[in-house]
Chain A
Amino acid sequence: MAVVETRDLTKVFKEGQLGAVNNVNLETREGEFLVFLGPSGSGKTTLLRMIAGLETPSSGEILIGGRVVNDLSPRDRRIAMVFQSYALYPHLSVYKNIAFPLKAQNVKKELHKEKVEWAASLLGIGALLDRKPRELSGGERQRVALARAIVREPAVFLLDEPLSNLDAKLRASAREELERFHRRVGTTTIYVTHDQVEAMAMGDRVVVLNKGVVRQLGTPTDVYDNPADTFVATFLGSPPMNLAELGDVIVGFRPEHFRPVSTITDAALPFRFNVENIEYLGSEWIVSGTLKGGKLDGKKVFSRLSSAQNLQLGGRYEFAVPQQHLKFFDRSSEKRAEPRAVSWQ
C-alpha cells in the first residue's frame, strides 16, 4: 500500500496552449478511495495517465510511496489500472488475461494458478476462467479487468471510468461491489469519473477538476455542502445549486433548501416564486419557475420537494431559503465568500 502524491504536476499537449493539467498538488491517504471528478476535458484522465506512467508530465513530480516515479516506466511503478474499455486481451482466455501480469512480472510459474484462482474467487468469476472475453457480459468483463489488476497485489489501483460501459441497472450493483471490494483489499485507489453520483457514493474524498485545475478537494459532504466556488456548486447536485447575483456577491442555494415558507421555522430569506413546471420523480418533485419582484425578477430557479401536490402550474407562492443554507461567492473570483446580509428587494 502506498500514498500517491503530485507536486505542481502539469501537462501541456501543445506549446502555448492552456495545459490539460495545471499545477496539480494532491496527496492521497493510505488506503484511501480518492475520486477525480470533472466534466469531459477537465484533465482527470490525463492526470490519472500521468500517475500510471502512460503520459509524460510537462513539469512537476509524481511520488508513489514517497519515491519520485517520473522516470519510471509503468511496469516499475507497482500500480494496476482498469481502463474504461477494460482493455482485456481478446485472444486470451480469462485465466490467461488474469495471469498475464504475473507472467510479465516474472512471478514464478508455480504460483500463477493459486494467485489467479485467488483473484478470480475474490471477484466471483471462478467459473469463467476458460472463456474468452468476447463471451462475457459487460459486468463480467469488468470483474475480469479488476481481477487482472489485483492479481499481483499492486500498491495503488487506478480506475478510469470503469462503470461507464455498463447499463444503469448494472452500474448500481457494480458500484456497490467495487466499494465492498475496496473495503476488503484496502489498497489506495484513485477513481476517475464524470458521474457525480459515483463520486459522492464511493469516494472517501473527491477531487473536483475543471480545465486541468483542482477546484476543490474534500469529502463528499464537504464538496456538496461547502462548495469552494461556483463551478463546484453547479457541477454537483441535480438540479444544480441555484445561483443569483446580488451586487458584488453571488448567492447560492440548493434546490432542496428552496421550500414553501410554511415548512421553514428558522430565520430565512423569503422569495416570491412563480411555478412554471412540475416534474414528478416518484420519491420527489422537481419544481422550476422564476422569482418575482425586486432585483431578481425573472431569475430561473429549481426547487426539490418531497411533495408538490398543493402547487399549481402558473401559481405564485411564498418560498424561502433558511439562512444557514445560503452560500456566498465573490462575484469576480467566483470563490467562496463570507456570509453577509443580502436583500433582493
Chain B
Amino acid sequence: MAVARNKRMSIGAAQSPLLGAAMFSPAVLYILLLVGGPFLLAILYAFSDARIGNTEMHFVGLENFRSILQSPSFRVAIRNSFIFTICSQIVVIVGANILAIALEKAFRGRGLIRFLILMPWVAPISLGAIGWKWILDSIYSVITWVLVAMHIYKPFSAPMWLGEPHLAIASVLLVHSWRLMPFSTVILLAGRTAIPKDIPEAAAVDGSGFWRTQLQIVIPMMRPIISVAVLFGLIFTFTDMTVVYILTAGGPFDSTQTLPSLAFALGIQGSDLAAGAAISLFLVPLLVILAYFMLRVAHRAEVN
C-alpha cells in the first residue's frame, strides 16, 4: 500500500517537475539573497581592506585576522560571548525547570501567570532591553531606589549597574536570562506534559520523593527536549547583539562587548568593514557545530 502510494506520488512529481521547482524556489531565493549573499560578501571583505566610503578594495590575505587576534577588545568579546551564552543558559534551564514544575499542576490563575511569563518573549527584544536600561539606569533605577529606601545603600553611593564592568556583565546576563526564560519554560512545560503520568506515580510508589523523582526520572526523561531548548537558547544568545547594544553599547571600556556587537561597532560604526567581517566569521565554525547538533537532536526527538 505504502509502496504503491510512493510510486504514484513520484510519477505525479515527474509529470510536472516545474511545479516542484516553482514551489521550492522562493525558499531558495530567500536563502541565497539574504543569507548566502551577505555571507559570501563577508568572506570577501574579511580578506580585504574594505572600508565604508572607500570604493577601492585590495586583497590583504590573513592580515585582518592577525590584527584582530592581537586586539584586547576581541579577546574580551570572545570571553564575554561565552560567559553570556553559557551562564545565561544555566540560569535559564534551572529557572525554566522550576517554573515548569510550578505551572504544571492546575491552580487558580495559572492561565494569567502563563501569559505573563510569556510576555518577555512576545515583546520585541529592543523594547524589553530599553525597559531594563531604565530599570538599571544610574539615576532613575528602581532597583537602586528600593535598595536606598531599604537603607542598604546610601544615595549617591549606590552601585552603577551598567557603569562598572562586573555589574554591567551581570546585568547583561540577567537580561539575556529574563529574555530566554519564557521560551524555555514553554518548551519544558510541553516536555513535562508529554511524560506519561504513570511514570512519576510509579516512582512515588517505588518510594521516591519529590527531588529524586525530578532529578533521576523526570528531568533525564526530558533530556531531548531540554537539548532543544538549550541549543536554541545558545544560538539566540550567541548571535544576539541587541541586548548589549542597547544596555551598554559594549561599554564600559568594551567590557561587555560580544563578538556580534564588536563586529557591528568596528565594521559599521567604525567604518572598518574588513575587521567587522573578519570578526563575524569567527562565529561561523561555532554556529555550524551548534546547528549540526540542533539538527541531530531535532531528528532524534522526531524518532522518539
Chain A: residues with CB nearer than 8 A to chain B?
52-54, 73-75, 79-81, 83-85, 87, 89-91, 100-101, 103-105, 148, 152
Tell me whether B206 and A83 are in contact (CB under 8 A).
no
Q: Which residues of A contact B201 (CB under 8 A)?
A: 54, 74, 83, 87
CB distance from A188 to the nearest CB of B (A): 16
CB distance from A177 to the nearest CB of B (A): 21
Closest A-B pairs by Cβ, 7 of them: A87-B202, A87-B198, A104-B207, A104-B208, A101-B206, A75-B207, A105-B207
A148–B203 alpha-carbon span in the complex (Å): 11
Tell me whether A148 and B221 are in contact (CB under 8 A).
no
A148–B202 alpha-carbon span in the complex (Å): 10
Instruction: Using A54-B201, A90-B221, A104-B212 as known contacts, say yes or no to A85 and B207 having CB atoms under 8 A apart.
Output: no
CB distance from A153 to the nearest CB of B (A): 12
Q: Which residues of A contact B223 (CB under 8 A)?
A: 91
Per a CB cutoff under 8 Å, which of A53, A54, A90, A104 touches B206? A104
B204 at the interface (CB under 8 A from A): yes
B199 at the interface (CB under 8 A from A): yes
A117–B36 alpha-carbon span in the complex (Å): 59
Instruction: Using A90-B221, A91-B220 as known contacts, say yes or no to A74 and B196 having CB atoms under 8 A apart.
Output: no
Tell me whether A75 and B208 are in contact (CB under 8 A).
yes
A50–B205 alpha-carbon span in the complex (Å): 12
- Report B189-226 CB contacts with A as 1/0, cut-off 8 Å: 00000001011011111111100100011001101000
Tell me whether A89 and B207 are in contact (CB under 8 A).
no
Residue of B nearest to A154 (CB): B205
CB distance from A143 to the nearest CB of B (A): 15
6 of the cross-chain contacts (CB-CB < 8 Å) are A74-B201, A74-B205, A83-B202, A87-B196, A87-B199, A104-B209
Tell me whether B221 and A85 are in contact (CB under 8 A).
no
CB distance from A73 to the nearest CB of B (A): 7
Q: Which residues of B contact A54 (CB under 8 A)?
A: 201, 204-205
| Additional 14 contacts, C-beta under 8 A, given A80-B206, A83-B201, A100-B203 | A54-B204, A74-B205, A75-B205, A75-B208, A83-B202, A84-B198, A85-B198, A91-B221, A100-B206, A100-B216, A101-B206, A104-B212, A105-B206, A152-B207
A101–B206 alpha-carbon span in the complex (Å): 5
A198–B114 alpha-carbon span in the complex (Å): 46
Tell me whether B209 and A81 are in contact (CB under 8 A).
no
Q: Which residues of A contact B205 (CB under 8 A)?
A: 52-54, 74-75, 79-81
A73–B205 alpha-carbon span in the complex (Å): 8
Q: Which residues of A contact B220 (CB under 8 A)?
A: 91
Q: Which residues of A contact B206 (CB under 8 A)?
A: 75, 80, 100-101, 104-105, 148
Q: Which residues of A contact B204 (CB under 8 A)?
A: 53-54, 73-75
Q: Which residues of A contact B207 (CB under 8 A)?
A: 74-75, 101, 104-105, 152
CB distance from B32 to the nearest CB of A (A): 42
Residue of A nearest to B212 (CB): A104
A315–B6 alpha-carbon span in the complex (Å): 55
A87–B286 alpha-carbon span in the complex (Å): 40
Tell me whether B209 and A75 are in contact (CB under 8 A).
yes
Residue of A nearest to B223 (CB): A91
Q: Which residues of A contact B196 (CB under 8 A)?
A: 85, 87
Q: Which residues of B contact A100 (CB under 8 A)?
A: 203, 206, 208, 216
A17–B170 alpha-carbon span in the complex (Å): 55
Tell me whether B198 and A83 are in contact (CB under 8 A).
yes
Residue of A nearest to B213 (CB): A104
Residue of B nearest to A160 (CB): B198
A240–B201 alpha-carbon span in the complex (Å): 37
Residue of A nearest to B217 (CB): A89
Most buried by A among B204, B207, B209, B216: B207
Q: Which residues of B contact A80 (CB under 8 A)?
A: 205-206
Residue of B nearest to A55 (CB): B201
A83–B199 alpha-carbon span in the complex (Å): 9
CB distance from B198 to the nearest CB of A (A): 4
A81–B202 alpha-carbon span in the complex (Å): 7
Q: Which residues of A contact B216 (CB under 8 A)?
A: 100, 103
Most buried by B among A73, A104, A148: A104
Considering the complex, which residues of chain B in the window 220-268 have a beta carbon less than 8 Å from any beta carbon of chain A?
A: 220-221, 223
Residue of B nearest to A85 (CB): B198
Q: Which residues of B contact A91 (CB under 8 A)?
A: 220-221, 223
CB distance from A142 to the nearest CB of B (A): 14
Residue of B nearest to A89 (CB): B217
Q: Which residues of B contact A103 (CB under 8 A)?
A: 212, 216
CB distance from A179 to the nearest CB of B (A): 23
CB distance from A274 to the nearest CB of B (A): 45
A79–B216 alpha-carbon span in the complex (Å): 21
A67–B202 alpha-carbon span in the complex (Å): 23
Residue of A nearest to B219 (CB): A91
Q: Which residues of A contact B198 (CB under 8 A)?
A: 83-85, 87
Q: Which residues of B contact A81 (CB under 8 A)?
A: 202, 205
Residue of B nearest to A106 (CB): B207
CB distance from B211 to the nearest CB of A (A): 11
Q: Which residues of A contact B208 (CB under 8 A)?
A: 75, 100, 104
Q: Which residues of B contact A79 (CB under 8 A)?
A: 205
Q: Which residues of B contact A148 (CB under 8 A)?
A: 206
A100–B217 alpha-carbon span in the complex (Å): 10
- Report B139-161 CB contacts with A as 1/0, cut-off 8 Å: 00000000000000000000000
Considering the complex, which residues of chain B in the window 53-82 have a beta carbon less than 8 Å from any beta carbon of chain A?
A: none
A105–B221 alpha-carbon span in the complex (Å): 21
Q: Which residues of A contact B217 (CB under 8 A)?
A: 89
CB distance from A111 to the nearest CB of B (A): 15
Q: Which residues of B contact A52 (CB under 8 A)?
A: 205
Residue of B nearest to A152 (CB): B207
Q: Which residues of B contact A85 (CB under 8 A)?
A: 196, 198
A326–B286 alpha-carbon span in the complex (Å): 83
A74–B104 alpha-carbon span in the complex (Å): 21
CB distance from A198 to the nearest CB of B (A): 20
